[in-house]
Chain A
Amino acid sequence: MAAAMPLALVVLLLLGPGGPARAESPRDSLREELVITPLPSGDVAATFQFRIRWDSELQREGVSHYRLFPKALGQLISKYSLRELHLSFTQGFWRTRYWGPPFLQASSGAELWVWFQDTVTDVDKSWKELSNVLSGIFCASLNFIDSTNTVTPTASFKPLGLANDTDHYFLRYAVLPREVVCTENLTPWKKLLPCSSKAGLSVLLKADRLFHTRYHSQAVHIRPICRNARCTSISWELRQTLSVVFDAFITGQGKKDWSLFRMFSRTLTEPCPLASESRVYVDITNYSQDNETVEVNPPPTTTYEDVILGTRRTYAVYDLLDTAMINNSRNLNLQLKWKKPPENGYIHYQPAQDRLQPHLLEMLIQLPANSVTKVSIQFERALLKWTEYTPDPNHGFYISPSVLSALVPSMVAAKPVDWEGSPLFNTLFPVSDGSSYFVRLYTEPLLVNLPTPDFSMPYNVICLTCTVVAVCYGSFYNLLTRTFHIEEPSTGGLAKRLANLIRRARGVPPL
């Protein structure tokens, strides 16, 4: 009896935890990631991605327990039977020529494209209601989306998630290019994140820095993905992406050193406690021109190498969940420094002042071998006052030629010459060392044909006006002010009588 009781107790203890306190494996997970890419033009691109994966079937009504996946979007999926939703707000344009290919580009303004499930009967009605609801959630005027700016693409915009058949009848696409992106769109976007802007990578999302950029694009992507490698069940994926490009000149004051603090005015302090992964990747694929290399501080513990967008790239990885990373300094301020050879270029620019001084641009450039370097400058001619024009303005206006002063490496080393002993053509320029020779070259002057005013115009106007005034006004004045009356012919004076006398003598009829 006494032995049976402890046994019973032990059995109870074993069964106890199996009851109401059973630990649930989390059904949704959050991964956050920031990729910092120094661009060839000296700017820096930062791409945030927050991805929530939810292993659940959202189509069934009655799902009410939301943990990481935001309820506002989950309810949209079940109410409007969405299969995929892609909504982006962009300000600026991704300049592929200067910055390289983007990870994900979006149309300037607001872009919304949606795949509906094939159970939807009236797609257009659902589309209109969906755009109204999204305009309320994101504080944007998406309610202007109607049949005048919606299309149904027939070949492009295939689903980005799982799809068994693609009947394009269930796809709708609309763009609002006039839509402005500002803090009021960022605020609800941030509120959808599980950690909001309190912890993790989202503390860097400060509006006053994010909108002082050349390119700002924030997006929400919802799609179904494979839950496991065999892909027998569906999980829902919500990705919130934000791409910005910081301008080297505006933000960096011309220097090419970057740090998280300079870009975002914040540093990273702790990972989001709800995130299963929280990483920062920095693109350290070395640049080979001018022997420049990028140095990252603090040095990374791991690197990641892969073929991204067609080229092999190397990334430095910083894992915020790694306790050693944050514990050292309580905050993580990544710094990128460009190591260049000591001699820098030199630029001097003096802008023009009207009627005072011209533009002056002087640049010291090192030209790489076997290459073509083009330098171009845009300028405007100010409109002259009409007395300042030359008598022959249709000839055009001259722009002075550019001057190129160059040190060209010699193929054969020259020895220093004695000025008095050598011919005159060899002593035009002083030579310091024989390995290169100095030369000064000029471009052609530029003759620009500008629109000139019509200088005969005042003369023509005066003639025409005076004629019109004289003819019309003069006639009218005469008609109004002159009176006409019959005049008796005058009987004549002494001269007339004398003349009549002479005429009678001649036999001619009198006057």
Chain B
Amino acid sequence: MAAAHCFGRASTALAALLLLSFGSFAASQIEDQAEQFFRSGHTNNWAVLVCTSRFWFNYRHVANTLSVYRSVKRLGIPDSHIVLMLADDMACNPRNPKPATVFSHKNMELNVYGDDVEVDYRSYEVTVENFLRVLTGRIPPSTPRSKRLLSDDRSNILIYMTGHGGNGFLKFQDSEEITNIELADAFEQMWQKRRYNELLFIIDTCQGASMYERFYSPNIMALASSQVGEDSLSHQPDPAIGVHLMDRYTFYVLEFLEEINPASQTNMNDLFQVCPKSLCVSTPGHRTDLFQRDPKNVLITDFFGSVRKVEITTETISLQQYSEMESSYKEDQMDEELMEPLKYAEQLPVAQIIHQKPKLKDWHPPGGFILGLWALIIMVFFKTYGIKHMKFIF
């Protein structure tokens, strides 16, 4: 009797235990599903990397941008999805002691320029107007594809800017500026046109935090290298090259990103901790109030990498038969055979050149200025000498 009682109690205990475990399992599944719900809904990644400074002594800004370019390419974003804007050429600059290289670490340890780089906007093309046109998509129709930001509403875009800046503005090539209000308005235009899903804005300039103060569009997360009133400092010079190679904030961001691979689960909170005041001298800042997800759920690879969600299917697709392609190829063989032989043009036909007549320029009617000038002269003449001369003219 006692044994049966014991057995009964044991069985109920076992049942209770099983039920509990099932319950917790179901709860964790729901939690997983909930977390899946809050993961990013992006399907493609874009990056717009801008260096706004010209001249050899601003080598570090080009190195900053190229180090982010290198990380972003390494983590999977292809060149067709990167818009790289460099305001000056440092690699093939006559002052560069090692041509075709841009180094980020002293003693020439890491060449961030690499062998496979595609710069989309270079030299004089890096202007405020072109930058805003790239962001908003209002580009002249003949612009090639590599110079366009063809993002849609499921794109996560990384925007990185570096250069010289101040409180509320960023200097482009020492001749013009972009203000934080213009930038915020550009992002709002992008939001209205559904050109991004989420946007990560990183800026490495003096007083960088002032550039993200005015953002008001949703789904933007921003990081800056220094607060308002602080200067962002450069990292280390190289005695052989003679200039500072990188800025501190981007240097430590590069070291942080070198640890990331496409499968990393590192999240944005780790990126916020990069470069504390002891290393950076300035205080890096960030802004997440416009962002809907919690930064600790946002993976670094959501913005810096191009991690695609792959769905494996077991359906089969049958390919077209080769013979169909070949029949169209056969038609190409039937080329016209010309009757008389062709010949190459003479490169310097002296006799022909001497005797050719120069083309007569088209006659244009005189412009408004000339007409007005003559009318004035004639009017003055007739006013002075009297209208009686008119009858001799007409």
Q: Does B311 contact A (CB under 8 A)?
A: no
Contacts of A56 in B (CB 8 A): 332, 335
| A233-B100 contact given A154-B358, A163-B344, A184-B118, CB 8 Å threshold | no
Partner of A141, one of B92, B123, B143, B345: B123
Whether B117 pairs with A163 at a CB distance below 8 angstroms is no
A163 touches B345 (CB 8 A): yes
- The complex places the Cα of A162 from the Cα of B338 at a distance, in Å, of 13
B123 CB contacts on chain A under 8 angstroms? 141, 178, 180
B42 to chain A, nearest CB (A): 26
Query: Is A107 interfacial (CB-CB < 8 Å)?
Result: no
Chain A residue numbers with a CB within 8 Å of B113 are: 183
> Which residues of A sit under 8 angstroms from B145, Cβ to Cβ?
136
Provide the bound-state CA to CA distance between A233 and B340, in Å. 10
User: Which of A128, A139, A178, A233 meets B335, CB within 8 Å?
Assistant: A233
On chain A, the residues within 8 Å of B343 by CB distance are: 162, 231
A188 to B83: give the CA distance in the assembly, Å. 16
Q: How large is the interface on A (under 10, 10 to 19, 20 to 34, 35 or more residues)?
A: 35 or more
**Contact across chains for B345 and A181 when beta carbons are under 8 A apart:** no
Of A116-124, A204-212, A344-352, A441-449, which stretch is located at the interface? A204-212
> Chain A 174-206 against B: per-residue CB contact (8 Å), 1 yes, 0 no?
000010111110011000000000000000001
Please tell me if the beta carbons of B92 and A211 are within 8 angstroms of each other in the complex.
yes
Residues of B with C-beta under 8 A to A188: 118
Q: Is A314 an interface residue (CB 8 A)?
A: no
A158 on interface, CB distance cutoff 8 Å: yes
The B-contacting residues of A in range 43-68, CB under 8 angstroms, are 55-57, 63, 65
Q: How far is the CA of A144 from the CA of B124 in the complex (A)?
A: 9
| A164 at interface, CB cutoff 8 A | yes
Task: Judge if A74 is at the interface, Cβ distance under 8 Å.
Answer: no
For the complex formed, measure the closest distance between the CB of B25 and the CB atoms of chain A, giving whole angstroms. Answer: 52
Would you call the interface of chain B mostly helix, strand, loop, or mixed?
Answer: loop
B367 at the A/B interface (Cβ < 8 Å)?
no
Which of B147, B323, B328, B336 is in CB contact (< 8 Å) with A20?
B323
> Within the complex, what minimum Cβ distance (angstroms) separates A159 from chain B?
5
Assembled-state Cα–Cα distance A137/B123 (Å): 17
B341-360 at interface with A (beta carbon < 8 Å): 341-349, 353, 356, 358-359
Set of chain A residues within 8 Å of B114, measured between Cβ atoms: 183
Which residue of the partner chain B has the closest CB to A163?
Answer: B345
B142 at the interface (CB under 8 A from A): yes
Within the complex, which residue of B322, B338, B358 is in contact with A232, where a contact is CB–CB below 8 Å? B338
Which chain B residues lie closer than 8 Å to A156 at the CB level? 348
CA A183 to CA B142, docked complex, whole Å: 25
Interface of A is mostly: loop
Smallest beta-carbon distance A168→chain B, Å = 9
Interface pair A180/B118, CB less than 8 Å apart: no
On chain A, the residues within 8 Å of B125 by CB distance are 141, 143-144
Which B303-353 residues sit within 8 Å CB-CB of chain A? 322-323, 325-326, 328-329, 332-333, 335-349, 353
A187: contacting residue among B115, B341, B346, CB under 8 A: B115
Contact (Cβ within 8 A) B118 A20: no
Asked if B362 is at the interface of the complex by the 8 Å CB criterion, the answer is: no
Task: Tell me the bound Cα distance from A370 to B341 in angstroms.
Answer: 55
Interface digits, A225-236 against B, CB 8 Å rule (1 contact, 0 not)? 010001111100
Contact A139 B98 (CB under 8 A): no
Chain A residues within 8 Å of B219, by CB:
none
Interface range for B: 35 or more
Q: How far is the CB of A73 from chain B (nearest CB, A)?
A: 14
Q: Hey, which chain B residues are within 8 Å of A231, CB to CB?
A: 341-343
Instruction: Let me know if A286 is at the binding interface, CB within 8 A.
Output: no
Shortest distance between the CB of B362 and any CB in chain A (Å): 13
| Contact present for A208 and B323 (CB under 8 Å) | no
Which residues does chain B contribute within 8 Å of A161, judged by CB atoms? 344
| Cα of A129 to Cα of B142 in the assembled complex, Å | 6
Docked-complex contact B118 and A233, CB < 8 angstroms: no
CA distance A27 to B335 in the complex (A): 12
Complex contacts, B118 vs chain A, CB 8 Å: 139, 184, 187-188
Cα–Cα distance between A27 and B344 once the two chains are bound (Å) = 22
Note all chain A residues with C-beta closer than 8 A to B329: 24, 65
Please determine whether A154 and B356 come into contact, CB atoms closer than 8 angstroms.
yes
Q: How far is the CB of B348 from chain A (nearest CB, A)?
A: 7
Identify which of B120, B326, B336 contacts A139 (C-beta below 8 A): B120
A15 at the interface (CB under 8 A from B): no
- Interface residue A275 (Cβ < 8 Å from any Cβ of B): no
A498 at the interface (CB under 8 A from B): no
Per-residue B-contact encoding for A124-137, CB less than 8 Å = 1, 0 else: 00001100110111
* B153 at interface by CB-CB < 8 Å: no
Contact of A136 among B98, B146, B333 (CB under 8 A): B146
Nearest chain B CB to A481 CB, angstrom units: 46
CB of B214 within 8 Å of the partner chain: no
Pick from B111, B144, B353 the residue with the most CB of A within 10 Å: B144
Expressed in whole angstroms, the Cα–Cα distance for A91 and B94 within the complex equals 10
A105 at the interface (CB under 8 A from B): no
Contact mask for chain B residues 88-106; partner A; CB cutoff 8 A; 1 contact, 0 none = 0101100000111100000
Assess whether A232 is in contact with B100, with CB atoms less than 8 Å apart: no
A144–B117 Cα gap in the complex (Å)? 21
**How many Å lie between the Cα of A208 and that of B114 in the bound state?**
9
* A166 on interface, CB distance cutoff 8 Å: yes
Complex Cα–Cα for A56 and B336 (A) = 10
Bound Cα distance A164, B338 (Å): 12
Let me know if A211 and B100 touch, CB within 8 A: yes
Residue A3 at the B interface, CB < 8 A?
no
Chain B residues, Cβ within 8 Å of A129? 142
Q: Give the chain A neighbours of B323 by CB distance below 8 A.
A: 20
Q: Is A424 an interface residue (CB 8 A)?
A: no
Task: Select from chain A the residue with minimum beta-carbon distance to B147.
Answer: A136
* Given contacts A158-B348, A233-B336, A128 and B92 within 8 Å (CB-CB): no
- State which of B98, B116, B117, B341 has its C-beta within 8 Å of the C-beta of A230: B341
Question: Closest chain B residue to A25 by CB distance?
Answer: B333
Say whether B378 faces chain A, with CB atoms less than 8 Å apart.
Answer: no
Contact yes or no, B353 A155, CB < 8 A: yes
Question: Given the complex of chains A and B, what is the CA–CA distance between A288 and B137 in angstroms?
Answer: 65
Contact present for A183 and B356 (CB under 8 Å): no
CB pairs A–B below 8 angstroms (10 shown):
A63-B332, A65-B332, A139-B122, A139-B146, A143-B125, A143-B142, A181-B92, A183-B113, A212-B100, A226-B344
Given contacts A63-B332, A207-B100, 13 further A-B contacts (CB under 8 A): A24-B329, A56-B332, A65-B329, A129-B142, A158-B345, A159-B344, A160-B347, A163-B345, A180-B122, A183-B92, A183-B115, A231-B343, A232-B340
Complex A-B, nearest 3 residue pairs according to Cβ-Cβ distance, in ascending order:
A136-B144, A182-B92, A211-B100
